[in-house]
Amino acid sequence: MAILEPVKVAGSTISKTTLHNEDFITEKDLKIGDTVVIQKAGDVIPEVVEVVKEKRTGEEIEFSMPEVCPVCGAPAIREQGEAVRRCINIECSAVLQRSIVHFVSKEGMDITGLGYSIIEQLIEKGLITDIADIYKLKLEDIASLKKDGKKFASNLIEAIEKSKQNDLSKLITALGIRHIGGKSAKILAKKYKTMNKLMNATFEELSYMEDIGEISANSIRTFFMEERNRNLIEELKKSGVNMKYIEDETADDRFFGKSFVLTGALEKYTRDEATEIIEKFGGKTTGAVSKKTDYVLAGADAGSKLTKAQNLGITVINEEEFDSMIKKL
């Protein structure tokens, strides 16, 4: 993050912009104390365009990413091919906190009420030392975090209990396996049906699956080969967390085998909402238009993807046509 002297840009006062990652800083040759040109990318997101090098005084300071974790002091390692550095200490309180935040997120186990500050307090009080401890929390533990916190605690306990019934795909997403997001988790859950079968899947099996590949397959195998992760699964199982794929008896596979590309600004849906609908009906979304694409859902200001689809003769639909397609048959 770049911290700037506040400046007006396109009607807004900007005091911060993203710097993306270590490589971006190197590429732009950014130093602490530099004067920079900024703009709003797409008239929305502030970004650094370039350094005004003629304004350098020689007092600017080179920035280097910390090589140790600022929380626990363990080495922070940037793996080959990765853009970020990560603390390697699995017992680091910051790593634990972020892991739990991801686990309880909407994309994960969707535990409403278990936010960042509550998790922080639970860790500080020693009430949570790993993810499995979420399901061991008692009403009085949570109530002690807030003044008159009994109602809050009751609602949170209810949300925790409800999360035990989530589909296997939600649990796979929540575990935070590298390179495995919600889409891949759904594919894995549907294929393997149970956590036990997924844990014992071979690298070869996984790598040959569509939309998984070798990098994700290696990540899955590495995750489940670690004893602490297998122990975590066992503890979650003991707490009653569902470990099976839940078949949807009312499933509608009208888009089965169909591939969609989303482009332009959609008015009625967010990209995530449209993707969720497509996947619900058995289809999938990809980021690039190819001969294998069946439909391109185009919103306002659609660019090169729309042009490519038209050149390839791929069916282009707008939101009204998409609505018609997803209405009950």
Q: What pLDDT tens digit does each residue of the chain (329 aa) get?
A: 999 999 998 888 999 998 999 999 999 999 999 999 999 876 678 899 999 999 999 999 999 999 999 999 999 999 888 888 999 887 888 999 999 999 999 999 999 999 999 999 999 999 999 999 999 999 999 998 888 889 999 999 999 999 999 999 999 999 999 889 988 998 999 999 999 999 999 999 999 997 798 999 999 999 999 998 999 999 999 999 999 998 765 567 889 889 999 998 888 888 888 998 998 888 989 889 999 999 999 988 888 899 999 999 999 999 999 999 988 65
The whole-angstrom separation of Cα 135 and Cα 235 is 9
CB 99 within 8 A of CB 69: no
* pLDDT score at 252: 77
Q: What distances in angstroms separate CA 41 from CA 28, 47, 66, 161, one per listed residue?
A: 16, 6, 28, 43
The whole-angstrom separation of Cα 214 and Cα 43 is 38
pTM beyond 0.75: the answer is no
For the chain, the maximum distance between any two Cα atoms, rounded to a whole number of angstroms, is: 70
Domains in the chain with CATH codes:
2-62 (2.40.50.140), 93-163 (1.10.150.20), 168-238 (1.10.150.20), 259-326 (3.40.50.10190)
Nearest CA to 220 out of 141, 229, 228 is that of: 229
* pLDDT score at 244: 96
Q: What distances in angstroms separate CA 218 from CA 77, 179, 201, 223, 225, one per listed residue?
A: 19, 10, 11, 9, 10
Please enumerate, as own/partner, the contacts of 316-321 that have beta carbons within 8 Å and a separation of 24 or more. 319/266, 319/267, 319/268, 319/269
The whole-angstrom separation of Cα 137 and Cα 134 is 6
* pLDDT score at 83: 86
Give the ranges where the chain is alpha helix by DSSP (H): 22-28, 93-104, 116-124, 139-143, 150-163, 168-174, 182-192, 195-199, 203-207, 213-225, 227-238, 271-280, 304-312, 319-326
CB 230 within 8 A of CB 152: no
| 210-235 residue pLDDT tens | 779 899 999 999 999 999 899 999 99
* pLDDT score at 43: 65
